[in-house]
Amino acid sequence: MRQPDIEIYLKDADVDHKAISAWLGAALGPCSDWVQKGQTYKCKAGNVPVTWLPKAVGKWNSLYLESDQTPWDDDIACARAAFAALNVEVRCAPGTWVEEEGEETADRWIRISEDGEEEITWKTA
């Protein structure tokens, strides 16, 4: 089932707006200019609203795609594509997380890196 939106976390490395724009532009369509609002940056890639939040969790940057109209069915598919395009470690939730599932499942994450793909426990709070 396609997720209503996508959020992945990219390790703070040499990933900047230009690299993200180039990747999203190729995948979704041309990116508009980034507009900074406080700590966040927003743009549109094709018809998809995009939010980039540097250092959302420690040294991890959040990339949020506010649409179900992407080439990826879920966070994991997007994370795999991001790792392949940007060559930086990416983390995402293993599926759509709902509050009713409780805190235990909130700490379950998928880590995609040069070591491969694995499920990890990541305490983000």
To the question of pTM greater than 0.85 for the whole model, the response is yes
Average pLDDT score over residue span 54-71: 93
Domain assignment present for 82: yes
112 by DSSP, 3-state: which? strand
Domain assignment present for 57: yes
Residue type, 59: K
Residue 104: which pLDDT band, with cuts at 50, 70 and 90?
low
Helices of type H across 1-125: 17-28, 75-86, 103-106
Q: Hey, CA dihedral for 6, 12, 17, 22, is it positive or negative?
A: negative
Enumerate residues 6+ apart whose C-beta is below 8 A from 65: 5, 6, 7, 28, 45, 48, 49, 50, 78
The domain total for the chain is 1
Residue type, 104: E
Domain assignment present for 38: yes
> Residue 66's closest CA among 9, 5, 21, 25?
5
Rounded to the nearest 10°, the torsion over CA 17, 21, 117, 115 is -60
The pLDDT tens digits for 2-60 are 789 999 999 986 677 788 999 999 999 999 999 999 999 999 999 999 999 999 999 99
What is the residue range of 78's domain?
Answer: 6-121
Domain assignment present for 1: no
